[in-house]
Every structure is written in structure tokens, then in C-alpha cells.
Amino acid sequence: MNRVIVVGADGSAAATAAVEWAADDTARSEARLRIVHVVDRSPYETAKFSNPGPGDAVALSAESVLADAEAVARKRQPGIEVASELFQGSAAAVLRTHAGKAAEIVIGGRGIGGFPGAVLGSVSTHVAGHAHGPVVVVRSDPDTAHGEIVIGLDDYHAGEPALAYAFEQAILRASTLRAVYAWQPPAHAHIPESAHDLDEIHAARCWIAAGVLQRRRQQYPQVQVIEDVRRAHPVDALASVSAKADLVVVGSQGRGAIGTVMLGSVTLGVLYHARSSVAVVRP
């Protein structure tokens, strides 16, 4: 088992759901699970907290968080290999450093310290926007299964890693894969004098979607694929099908220099509006 799945734990309910999700995926993929907790001492720049020693309250609390997370994982999937590790620093930075070594990073949608009513936490948004490889933001109950994985299609080669990940998840779960390709007509397409034929445009988009899927369908013939081409904004289309999906997979074309710009507007929109867990796969 050379694959390692890394999950962030902080003692929150969202992180507990992420640990359960990661344990299930570890069992499905015959991987190893590594639970990571990060202590950020920057808010406690006093001698009592910044100089850890015997009986250090912050360290003791961190060890308790890891022990509880391990117990959750072992109870969820007794047969998996579980290890845990404590780090100090920024949670987002530590999880980013693990991205290149892990098969996937799993995090809760909002951890401790999140604003009431907030959909996403700053750590989940940052890691999803900067880490290379799959980052799963757990937003749904791991015990609820619909038997469907959703992939948001585009016609760029950079979306290939996301497509491969979606097919792999469909195989591991024995699920149907719904491939959603959303398109919007040109702003002037509804003008009577316009030469645009919306039916022709839709047919062309269907042809593009089929072409994007062709190689993977040949590679994974056992996966049942639903080609779902919609005249809608991509965020609206993916959010609408997310309620009956176990996971929504999106690529990210964002190339911004800082912050959530790295995600791209569609990916960020899906993270905020999807009702299921979301996997962001950056090339």
C-alpha cells in the first residue's frame, strides 16, 4: 500500500466528517491513512504558550485531537493502517506541503474558528486553491450514498487529471459517473436577426463533451457514464446535480498569484454552492 491519504483534523465536527470520509476512501483504495493536526501558536505569543514543555496545554490538547481522530478512523474502518502526526505552524501551509506526497488531501469544509453560517473555512479554501493533486473538501454526510459521481467537463487538456480522478472514484465506489458539460449562448444569440442557431450550438457542445470523454471511456469501459450537456452557467449546473451526488469533481484553471484567485471563478463557485463534497484537482 504505497498510496497515502492525508486528512486534516482539528477537533471540529467538519473535521470529524472529513476523517470518516478519508477512512472510507482509504479502505476503498487500499491506501494508508495519515491524520495531521497543526498547532498554530501565533495567537498565543506569550511565554506560557510559545515555549512548550511538560504539561504544555496546547500540546496536550493537540494530542487529544489526534487521539480522538484516530479512534474515529479505526472505528469507521477497523482494517486500515492509520498513523497520525503533529505539526506546528500554519495549517494551510502544512497541508500544502503534503500535497505532492499524498494520493489526496481531505479537509472539512469549515473548522474550528469559522464564522457562524460560513460555507467554507479559510484553510479549506487556501489548500484547494494552491495544492497540486486532488483536494477533497468534505461537505456532506459520509453515510449518505447516492451512487453517483459528478465531473464538471471542460474542453481544456488541463482538465484531464480531474477526469481521471473522477473515473477512478467511480470505479472504487461502483458508481455511475455523470459528466456535466455546461454552456451559455452568446449574449446576442437571442436577437431575432442573429445567425446563431442554439440547437446547432448545443449539438456542437454534445460533440465536444463526447470527444473529451472518449479516451477515458475506452480506458474504463466498466464505468457507466451519463453525458449531461446543459445550457446553463457551469456553477448552476453542477450545484443543481450535487444534491444527489456523492462527490463533485472539478478541475481548476486558476493561475492567480494570491489567495483564492488560484481556484478560478467556476471552481470557487462550486465549492461555495455544491451540496455534496467537492474534489478540486489541479494539474
- CA distances (Å), 167 to each of 38, 42, 135, 201, in order? 32, 41, 16, 27
pTM: 0.85
Distance (Å, whole) CA 248 – CA 270: 9
- CA distances (Å), 197 to each of 185, 188, 191, 200, 229, in order? 10, 11, 11, 5, 16
Q: What is the pLDDT of residue 245?
A: 96
> At the topology level of CATH, where does 148-282 sit?
Rossmann fold (3.40.50)
What's the farthest any 2 CA atoms get from each other in the chain? 79
3-class DSSP state of 5: strand
128 pLDDT above the threshold of 50: yes
Residues 152-199 pLDDT 10s? 998 665 588 999 999 999 999 999 999 999 998 876 555 555 556 888
Work out the average pLDDT over 213-220: 94
* Domain spans, the chain: 4-138, 148-282
**Dihedral pair phi/psi, residue 232, rounded to 5°:** -165, 165
Q: What is the pLDDT of residue 78?
A: 97
Please name which of 278, 253, 12 lies closest in space to residue 155, comparing C-alpha atoms.
Answer: 253
Candidates 1.10.760.10, 3.80.30.20, 3.40.50.620, 3.60.110.10; CATH matching 4-138: 3.40.50.620
The answer to whether the CB of 134 falls within 8 A of the CB of 163 is: no
Work out the average pLDDT over 242-271: 74
Residues 138-152 pLDDT 10s? 987 888 899 999 999
The answer to whether the CB of 225 falls within 8 A of the CB of 171 is: no
